[in-house]
Chains A and B, each alone.
Chain A
Amino acid sequence: EITMTQPPVTLSISPGERATLSCRASQSVSSNLAWYQQKPDQPPRLLMYGASTRATGVPARFSGSGSGTEFTLTISSLQSEDFAVYYCQQYNNWPWTFGQGTKVEIK
């Protein structure tokens, strides 16, 4: 089973600033990596798949990069609605596994 690691647990960032979130896989997952956003008492929302393809309706300020074992989700200018928990998920090796999440909070 592939372990997904997302350091740090919490990121404190001011509105308007750039946020860079990391995701690391214990072995290569090629580009089979998705990102989700979850707000309190809501289900996760798909943001990105294929490491860098935005899902339908996701604003252009969200971008993804990486392949193999190192991935990044960047939010170019944080808006108030972006403060949430972000999870990465690999779908290269079954069973699919998620990272533990990074909480982006207001600084």
Chain B
Amino acid sequence: EVQLVESGGGLVQPGGSLRLSCTASEFSVSLNYMTWVRQAPGRGLEWVSVIYTSGSTYHADSVKGRFTISRDNHKNTVYLQMNSLRTEDAAVYFCAREEGGYFDLWGQGTLVTVSS
């Protein structure tokens, strides 16, 4: 089955770090644009980061310099390294496959809580 499974969420203190993982099944992350989209509790959707097939990466201004997206082709997994976490980063983080700008496959999401 074609799917994405995220992991790595949890409770972290402000200023802390967390690494999220997204493992794909039945397709290659290296041959697709892979993104992270987040959703704060009771809020809308916010695009966070993308990694292109070329390996180029881009991040939203709100996380630039703090978050890094990467991938491991052998593990068929995409990562989001989140440093210097702020309370406003608390959200469900979804991994998604991007197809020409829209997102055609989503994982179930992993919850990140930032609190002291």
Contact = CB atoms under 8 A, between A and B. Distances in A.
Contacts of B96: 43
Contact of A55 (B47, B101, B104): B104
Nearest to B45: A98
Given A43-B107, A44-B94, A44-B103, 19 more contacts: A32-B101, A34-B102, A34-B103, A36-B45, A43-B94, A43-B106, A43-B109, A49-B100, A49-B104, A87-B45, A92-B101, A94-B58, A96-B47, A96-B101, A97-B47, A98-B45, A98-B47, A100-B43, A101-B45
Contacts of B101: 32, 34, 91-92, 96
A46 B47 contact: no
Contact of B102 (A42, A89, A95, A97): A89
Interface of A: 32, 34, 36, 42-46, 49, 55, 87, 89, 91-92, 94-101
B106 A45 contact: yes
A44 B47 CA distance: 13
A49 B108 contact: no
Nearest to A49: B102
Contact of A98 (B46, B58, B106, B109): B46
A22 to B, nearest CB: 15
Nearest to B107: A43
Nearest to B105: A46
Nearest to B44: A100
Interface string B22-59: 00000000000000000000011111000000000010
A2 to B, nearest CB: 12
Contacts of B104: 46, 49, 55
A32 B107 CA distance: 23
Contacts of A36: 45, 103
Contacts of B103: 34, 36, 44, 46, 89
A34 B103 CA distance: 9
